[in-house]
Structure 1
Amino acid sequence: MFDADRLFKERLSRYLRETGQYLRYMFNGHIAVALFFFIAAFAYFYQQWLLNLPESFPSTTIMAIVFGFLVSIGSVRTLLQEADLVFLVSAENKMRRYFKKTLLLSYLIGWYPVFLVAALFGPLYFASFPERSGRTYLLLVVVLLIFKGWNLLATWWMNNIQDKMIRTIDLLTRVLISTAVFYFLIDGTIILAAVFTVLFIGVFLYDLSISRKQSNINWYLLIEKDRNRMQAFYRIANLFTDVPHLKNPVKKRNWLISLWGNRVAYDQRLTYDYLFRLTFIRSGDYLSMYIRLIVVGGLFIYFVPINWLKLLFAFLFLYMSLFQMMTIYRHHRVNIWLDIYPITQSDKKRALLRLIMKLAFVQTVIFTVVTLLQQNYLMTGIVLIGGLIFSYGFVYFYIKGKSI
C-alpha cells in the first residue's frame, strides 16, 4: 500500500541527514573565523557608508531588482530520485499529498533568504526613508513572503509545461512584474503597486489554467532540477571534504592548458605536477573558485580604507584559496590506475606543494598590484613581502606537515 506521508518523511529525513553531515564540515572552525571577519568588516563599513549616503543613490531601484529576483527565482525541492521514474510513476495519481508537502517545505526554506536579504537592506531602507516607521518595512517583508509563495506555485505549475521557452518567458515576466511591484511599493506609489499586483495575479491565474491542461507530471524535469541542485551543493561541500556522490564536470579549456598546463618538463618525477595542473584547470570548481576569491579579495583590498585591514584581507583570502586547493591531492582517489604509477607519495605531495605555492605567488602579486593602483607604496611592499612569507609558511610548514 502506497503511503505518501511515509515516503515524504523518509525522503526528508535522508535529505536533512545528508546535508547536515556536509554542513558540519563546511562550517568548521576555519570557515567560522573567516565568516566572522567578513561579517564584522562588512557591518562596520556598511554603517560608515550609510552615514554618508548620497541623496542620488538609487536605493529604490536596487532593492526592487534584488527583491524581484529573490521572490521569483527558485523551484520546488521534490526530493525525487532517478529510480522514481521506474517505481513511482505508476503511483502518480497518489502523489498529490506528497507534492503538497514538498511545496510547503520549499516555501519554508525560501523564508531564510528572504529574511536574510530583508535584514541586509533594512538599514539602507531606513537611511533612504528616515521618515518611515518599522511597521512599513515589516509590511514590505510580509509582501515579500506572499510573492515568494505565489511565484513558487507558479513555478510548480509551469514545471508541467514541456516547452522550455514558454517556461523561460513566464519566469522573465514574473521577475519584471515582481520588480515593478516592489519598486512602486518602496517608492510609496501604492496605486501603481496595486496595478502591477493585479497584473501579476493575471499571470498567476494564466499559469494555473495552462497547467491544468497538462495531464501528467513532468517527472524528467523535476528529477533533473533536484539532481542539479544537489550536485551544486555537492560541489561546494567537496571543497571541504570528500563527496562520493559528486559528478565532477570536466571542461576542455584548451587555451589555458596550452598556456600553462603543458609547461611541465618531461620527467617521471613530475608526473603529478602535470596531473595536478590539469586537475586545477579542468576539473570541478577549482579554477573558478580561485578566480572568485581573487576578485572578491581584490575588491576588499581596494575599497577598504584602513591599511591593517587591507593586509588582513590579503592574508584571509590567501588562506581561503590555499586551504581549498589542498583537496586536489585527493581528487583522483577513486581512480585505481594511478596506483600503478611508479611515483612515490613524497613526490606526489611535493607536486601539490609546488602547485599551491605557484598559485599563492600569483594571488599575492595580483593583490600587490591592486594596492599599487592606490599609490600606497609602503602598503604595497608590506602586502608583497607579507603575502609571500605567509604563503611559504602555510605551504611548507602547515600543509607539508599534514597527512593530506
Structure 2
Amino acid sequence: MNNFREMWGARFFDYMREFQKYMQYIFTGHLAIVLVFTIGAGGYAYSEWLKEVSVDFPAAILTALVISGALVYSPPVTLLKPADIVFFLPLETQLPHYLGKALKWSTFSQIPLPLVLYIVALPLLSATETATGAVLLWLAVFIVVLKWLFVETEFSVHYARAGVGVWTDRLIRFVIATVFIYLWLSPYLYLILIPAVVMGIYMAYWRKQKMQKPFPYDHFITLEQNRMMRFYRFANYFTDVPHLKGAISRRRWLGFMMQSPTFGRTKSQQFLIRRTFFRTDDIFWLWVRLTVIAMFGTYFISIPIALLIFVGALAFASSIQLIYALRSGDEFRMDMLFPEPPIARRSAIQQTVRGVQWIQALFIMMIGLFAFGWSMTVVMLFLIIIIVSEFTIRSTKEKE
C-alpha cells in the first residue's frame, strides 16, 4: 500500500472482522441470559436502594470517583504488527496520519463505558438533588472531552517514556478528573478552572516530551499484542482460539484436590480433566473470578430475590463456560488412544464441573451466613447454585 490511510483502513477492516468473528461466539444465548438476569437483579436492587437514599448521601464524590476510574484507563489502540518496525520505515513521515486515526478510534471505542456509568449515576444524582438538568447535560459533554484528552495524554506518555511511569500518569489524571467532576457537581463551580488549567498544562508537557523522542515501535507493538491476547483469552472461554497459548501452573497448594494415580483403579479421563481444571490458568482463574463476584454480591446485595437471580446467573455462567473450556481441543488428543469408551470424557467433565460448583455453593453459603445469619435465604442460595449448575450440566449439548 502506498500510504498509511489505506493501511489503517485495511488494518481496521481485518481487526473488526476478527473481533466480530469471536464476539458472535461470546454473545450467544447463554451470555445474553446471564446479562439479562444480572442487569435486571442489579437494576432492581439499585432502584430499591434509591427509594431510601438520603439527600445527604455523597453522590457527587462517588460519581466523580467512579467515572474518573473509567476515564483514566485510556490505552491507545494502534493495530500495529511486529513487521511494521521494518516496513513502516519508508513511509515514516506519514506515520502521524496513521496514529491520528488510531487515536480517534481509541477515543470512540472507550467512550461508552464512562457514559454508561454516568447514565447509571443520573438517578442517584437526581434523588439526592445534586445538580440541575443543564449541569448534568454539560457534564456528559465534559466526559467525552476528558476521554479524548486522556487518550491523547496516555499516548504521549507511552510515546515519550515507552510506558515507564504510566500508572503514575493515570493516578495524576485520576485526581484531576475527580476534582473536575466533583467541582462541577458541587456548589463550588467557580473553582473548576483550576483542574482545567492543570490538565491543559499537564497535557502540553507530555506532548512536548513526545516531540523529542523517536517513535517506540517495539513498545507499541508489545502493547497491541498484549491487548489482543487479553481479548483472545476472554474469547477462549466460549470457543477455541488458535492464537492463544495458555499458561499452565502446577499449584502445589491444591495437591490435596488431585490424588496420585493408582494403577488399575484410576479413571484416566477424570484424572486428566481434574488436573486440566486446576492447572490451566485461564480455566481455573475464570472459575475463581466468577465465584468471588458471587461472594461479593452475596455480601452486599440485601434484597433476597435480586440476590438469588444474581447468584443463579453466575452459577449458570460458571457451569456453561467451564464445560466449554474443558471440552476445547476435541479434534485430537493423546488420551483418545486410551482404551476407554467415548462417553468417559463427557462423564469426567460433568463430574468435575459438578464438584467445583458444589465448592462454589459452599463458599457462597458461608458468606450468606455472615450476611443473613441462619435463614431461608442462605438455604435458597445454596440450592439455586446446585439446581442451576446441575440443569446446565445435564442440558448442555455435546459438540457436533
Amino acid at match of 1:288: W
Deviates more, 1:297-306 or 1:183-192: 297-306
Return the alpha-carbon distance in structure 1 between the equivalents of residues 386 and 107 of structure 2: 47
Alignment of 1:402 onto 2:395? no
- Measured after TM superposition, the shift of residue 271 of structure 1 is 2.7
Q: Determine the structure 2 residue equivalent to 1:224.
A: 222
Are the counterparts in 2 of residues 151 and 174 from structure 1 also a CA contact under 8 Å? yes
Aligned residues: CA RMSD: 2.5
Q: How does 1:53-202 map to 2 (within 5 A)?
A: 53-129=53-129, 132-162=131-161, 164-202=163-201
Q: Determine the structure 1 residue equivalent to 2:360.
A: 363
Q: Determine the structure 1 residue equivalent to 2:235.
A: 237
Are the counterparts in 1 of residues 320 and 392 from structure 2 also a CA contact under 8 Å? no
Q: 2:267 aligns with which of 264, 267, 270?
A: 270
Return the alpha-carbon distance in structure 1 between the equivalents of residues 159 and 148 of structure 2: 18
CA displacement 1:98-155 (0-9 Å, x = unmatched) = 111111111111221122111111111222225x322111111111111111111111
Q: 1:92–1:254: structure 2 CA closer, same or farther, 3 Å change rule?
A: farther
Return the alpha-carbon distance in structure 1 between the equivalents of residues 60 and 83 of structure 2: 47
Amino acid at match of 1:239: Y
Are the counterparts in 1 of residues 248 and 279 from structure 2 also a CA contact under 8 Å? yes
Are the counterparts in 2 of residues 12 and 79 from structure 1 also a CA contact under 8 Å? yes
Return the alpha-carbon distance in structure 1 between the equivalents of residues 176 and 306 of structure 2: 42
Amino acid at match of 1:227: Q
Return the alpha-carbon distance in structure 1 between the equivalents of residues 265 and 13 of structure 2: 49
Deviates more, 1:306-315 or 1:105-114: 306-315
Q: Determine the structure 1 residue equivalent to 2:246.
A: 248
2:164 partner SS: helix
Return the alpha-carbon distance in structure 2 between the equivalents of residues 38 and 104 of structure 1: 32
Return the alpha-carbon distance in structure 1 between the equivalents of residues 269 and 91 of structure 2: 51
Return the alpha-carbon distance in structure 2 between the equivalents of residues 65 and 308 of structure 1: 29
CA displacement 1:273-326 (0-9 Å, x = unmatched) = 233223222324222221222232234344444544444444322211110111
Are the counterparts in 2 of residues 329 and 349 from structure 1 also a CA contact under 8 Å? no
TM normalised by structure 1 equals 0.89
- Measured after TM superposition, the shift of residue 376 of structure 1 is 4.4
Are the counterparts in 2 of residues 269 and 347 from structure 1 also a CA contact under 8 Å? no
Indicate the structure whose relative CO is greater, using CA pairs within 8 Å and at least 6 residues apart: 2
1:165 partner SS: coil
Return the alpha-carbon distance in structure 2 between the equivalents of residues 311 and 44 of structure 1: 12
Amino acid at match of 1:377: S
Q: 2:258 aligns with which of 255, 261, 264?
A: 261
Return the alpha-carbon distance in structure 2 between the equivalents of residues 392 and 30 of structure 1: 15
Are the counterparts in 1 of residues 157 and 206 from structure 2 also a CA contact under 8 Å? yes
1:179 partner SS: helix
Equivalent residue pairs, number: 399
- Measured after TM superposition, the shift of residue 358 of structure 1 is 0.4
Q: 1:178–1:388: structure 2 CA closer, same or farther, 3 Å change rule?
A: closer
Return the alpha-carbon distance in structure 2 between the equivalents of residues 204 and 384 of structure 1: 52
Are the counterparts in 1 of residues 26 and 235 from structure 2 also a CA contact under 8 Å? yes
Q: 1:264–1:45: structure 2 CA closer, same or farther, 3 Å change rule?
A: farther
Amino acid at match of 1:206: Y
- Measured after TM superposition, the shift of residue 386 of structure 1 is 5.1
Return the alpha-carbon distance in structure 2 between the equivalents of residues 69 and 384 of structure 1: 34
